[in-house]
Structure formats: structure tokens, C-alpha cells
Amino acid sequence: MKIAVGIIGIFLGLLVLMQSCAVTAGSGLLQDKATGGAGAVGMLVGLLFFIAGAFSFALPLVGTIMFGLAAAFAFLASTQGSFSDLTIWGFIALILAMMSFFTWRSAKRKKLNAPV
């Protein structure tokens, strides 16, 4: 499951990053500063998704923390402007954080139960 979380995190990170860039550019054309700010935070969320996905391969606990941060930023930014897709990305980040946490916990249990 570690590999699946990593690949999904990296792919969705790039997707969120591209969508947030488009929202930021569109809000610049429409002179909408609130949506532009939400788009900028969306780019941070996309970067956190990408980093969390990369860390999920070797350090699932770090990936869990990064996905949690991405979810927090996404929920905070979704309240401003008209970039409500960040709410969906926040829920997806929470799901990936839980998956990464359970991956870390199962690896830790395997390590503790390993014969010496």
C-alpha cells in the first residue's frame, strides 16, 4: 500500500498544482484577489501532496504529516474566494494521510514482531 499512496500522492500533487495555477491565472484576469489567494494556497497544497507522496515510499510517517498539513491548508483556503475544489482536495488528503498512517503502523508492527 506504500507504493500506491506514493504514486497517488505524486499524481494528485501535480494535478492540484496545475489546477491551482489555472485558478490563479484566471483570477488575475478577473481581478479577483480572494480567489487568487486561494489559488496560491492551492499551489502550496499541490506541492505538499507531491512531497508527501515522495516521502510515503521511504518514510510513511512523514508522508502522513505532510498530507495532514495539505488537508489543513486546503480546508482553510476553501473558505475564501470561489475555489471550492480545495474542500475535495482536503478530504482526499485526509484519506491519503490515514492510508499512509496505517502503512507506517503495519510496518512498525511487523518490525516489532519479527523473529530475532
| 113 located within any domain | no
Spatial CB neighbours of 32, under 8 Å, sequence gap ≥ 6:
81, 82
Q: What is the pLDDT of residue 116?
A: 64
Q: What is the pLDDT of residues 24-41, one digit of tens each?
A: 898 888 888 888 888 889
Number of domains into which the chain is organized: 1
Minimum mean pLDDT among 30-44, 64-78, 93-107: which range?
30-44
- N residues, the chain: 116
| 9 located within any domain | yes
Q: Where are the alpha helices (DSSP H) in the chain?
A: 2-30, 33-58, 60-77, 85-113
Q: What is the pLDDT of residues 37-60, one digit of tens each?
A: 888 899 999 999 999 999 989 899
| 41 located within any domain | yes
- Which residue range is the domain that position 83 belongs to? 2-108
Backbone Cα Rg of the chain? 16
Residue 8 has pLDDT above 70, yes or no: yes
| 19 located within any domain | yes
State the Cα–Cα distance between residues 71 and 15, nearest whole angstrom.
Answer: 15
CB count, 10 Å around CB of 62?
A: 16
| 101 located within any domain | yes
pTM for this structure? Answer: 0.87
Burial (CB count within 10 angstroms: exposed 0-12, middle 13-18, buried 19+), residue 100: buried
| 114 located within any domain | no
